[in-house]
């Protein structure tokens, strides 16, 4: 069987966006690694080498030169920067006002599909043969050049193992993968800074002058960025190789961004002993206008005063150091817990259920729902839906009649899916499931305890039997 079996096939999605994204693949590994089968012997990828090994696989086997890898809690996170995710130019298409097929608008490029698939496959190789505890994986593929869109995938490693051993079918596995699309503002803000360091590595001194320092004499910047030799004489190409280590940003006005860059600089020529490898830090003032970003000013951090700000730049080195942990980044791995993972999965499952069930779709013209997991001491799942009935004269609940029959029908299907999924995961670390809705200025909450939900699962009680109503002023 092909170890890269297609996972996201044509799907009855919730919108054209999700349908377009259905061409992305999720790996369904089918090569049984000896370390996984035997459960003995040393791990192929020891904990100390997981990060390095994943980067090596990406580079050597798939020619993907740069991915970021990090571990947060028991989650393996990978950042995959892409030049382009979607075949269509989203901004141009939307600005034209002629978009009639959202599905075609969000069709990914073949190159993006291949890279996402290869990285997911590489992650599975690491996760299934390491001694490091990994419960969840998170892949963020970001279009850093065109749209600034993130495509994210979240999955649980036990689901990956179960589908490999045919313990769950592929159709169920598909439902357990969480994928979403988001806008990444920081990726767009950082774009001109990435271009700047790329140009320092590749462009001529004249090109750098024209692109970034048109009103500044070459003598004032060439030495800082190593476009002079050891004697201070101008050279055509820079002597240094620049590697970005970290980028963070903060908006200071509507169209004004400050970007922090931490970079490693080293000589391109090993014989260039006059340039010692070192780490340098810069601040970039970036302006945004429409769909373009432009560097207005470059400030070496070494030039900033520790305490006193200048009239034209309000940041001090001390201010930057203290606030930097809160600046925006392109990539941050979430610390995923089982409760959080299940709540995200339930949100997607129930939204799909609402779209696919004819009675629900006919009763509620629009449904927006979210499921949240409240950690201890509440330790419960909250189901909240904005779902007006098609007939505006009807309401979801009346004190005399109780819940509308179609609301109860919808919730019954939700509860049935809920208990079956939790049983499959053997998850019991919760106290209740709560259905919430706002009506007449009040927050209405129906609670079903875990014990009663088990009776419901076994068809010993109906959902209506186990729901307990509480009312709060909204």
Residues 345 and 250 in one domain: no
Position 62 in a domain: yes
Give this prediction's pTM. Answer: 0.86
Q: Please tell me the total count of domains within the chain.
A: 3
Q: What is the DSSP string of 271-334?
A: T-TTS--EEEEEEEEEEEETTEEEEEEEEEGGGS-SSPPBTTB---HHHHHHHGGGSB-S----
Residues 359 and 259 in one domain: no
> Of 182, 202, 217, which residue sits at a domain end?
182
Given this model, what pLDDT does residue 291 score? 72
Residues 285 and 388 in one domain: no
Residues 321 and 348 in one domain: no
CA distance 357 to 359: 6
> Of 268, 302, 326, which residue sits at a domain end?
326
Q: Mean pLDDT, 10 residues at a time, over the chain (474 residues)?
A: 33 45 49 38 83 96 94 97 84 56 71 92 92 96 92 94 87 90 94 97 96 93 92 91 96 92 96 93 91 90 78 82 95 96 96 94 94 96 94 91 96 98 96 94 96 98 97 82
Evaluate whether 331 touches 249 at the Cβ level (below 8 Å).
no
> Of 304, 326, 348, which residue sits at a domain end?
326
CA distance 408 to 346: 18
Position 332 in a domain: no
Question: Which range marks the domain in which residue 342 is found?
Answer: 338-473
């Amino acid at each position: 069987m092909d170890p890269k079996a297609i996972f996201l096939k044509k799907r009855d999605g919730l919108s054209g966006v999700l349908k377009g994204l259905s061409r992305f693949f999720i790996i369904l590994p089918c090569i049984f690694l000896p370390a996984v089968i035997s459960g003995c012997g040393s791990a192929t990828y020891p904990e100390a080498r997981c990060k390095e090994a994943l980067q090596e696989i990406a580079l050597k086997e798939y020619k993907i030169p740069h991915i970021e890898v990090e571990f947060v809690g028991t989650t393996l996170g990978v950042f995959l920067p892409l030049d382009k995710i979607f075949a269509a130019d989203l901004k141009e298409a939307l600005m034209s006002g002629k978009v009639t097929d959202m599905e075609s608008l969000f069709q990914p490029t073949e190159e993006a599909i291949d890279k996402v698939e290869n990285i997911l496959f590489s992650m599975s190789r690491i996760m299934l043969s390491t001694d490091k505890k990994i419960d969840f994986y998170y892949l963020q593929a970001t279009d850093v050049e065109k749209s600034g869109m993130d495509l994210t995938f979240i999955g649980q490693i036990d689901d990956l193992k179960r589908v490999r051993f045919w313990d769950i079918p592929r159709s169920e596995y598909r439902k357990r993968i969480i994928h979403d699309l988001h806008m990444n503002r920081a990726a767009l803000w950082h774009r001109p800074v990435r271009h700047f360091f790329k140009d320092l590595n590749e462009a001529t001194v004249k090109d750098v002058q024209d692109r970034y320092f048109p009103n500044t004499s070459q003598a004032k910047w060439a030495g800082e960025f190593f476009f002079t030799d050891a004697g201070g004489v101008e050279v055509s190409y820079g002597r240094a190789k620049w590697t970005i280590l970290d980028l963070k940003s903060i908006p200071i006005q509507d169209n004004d961004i400050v970007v922090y860059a931490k970079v490693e600089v080293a000589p391109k020529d090993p014989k260039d002993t006059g340039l010692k490898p070192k780490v340098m830090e810069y601040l970039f003032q970036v302006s945004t206008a429409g769909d373009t970003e432009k560097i207005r000013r470059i400030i070496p951090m070494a030039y900033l005063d520790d305490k006193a700000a200048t009239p034209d730049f309000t940041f001090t080195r001390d201010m930057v150091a203290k606030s930097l942990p809160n600046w925006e980044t392109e990539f941050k791995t979430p610390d995923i817990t089982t409760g959080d993972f299940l709540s995200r999965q339930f949100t997607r499952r129930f939204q799909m259920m609402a779209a696919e069930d004819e009675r629900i779709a006919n009763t509620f013209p629009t449904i927006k729902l979210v499921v949240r997991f409240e950690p201890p001491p509440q330790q419960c799942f909250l189901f909240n839906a904005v779902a007006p009935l098609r007939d505006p004269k009807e309401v979801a609940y009346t004190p005399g009649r109780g819940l509308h029959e179609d609301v109860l029908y919808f919730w019954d299907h939700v509860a049935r899916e809920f208990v079956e999924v939790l049983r499959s995961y053997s998850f019991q670390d919760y106290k209740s499931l709560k259905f919430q809705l706002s009506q007449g200025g009040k927050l209405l909450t129906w609670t079903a305890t875990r014990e009663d939900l088990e009776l419901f699962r076994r068809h010993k009680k109906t959902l209506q039997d186990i729901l307990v109503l509480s009312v709060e002023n909204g």
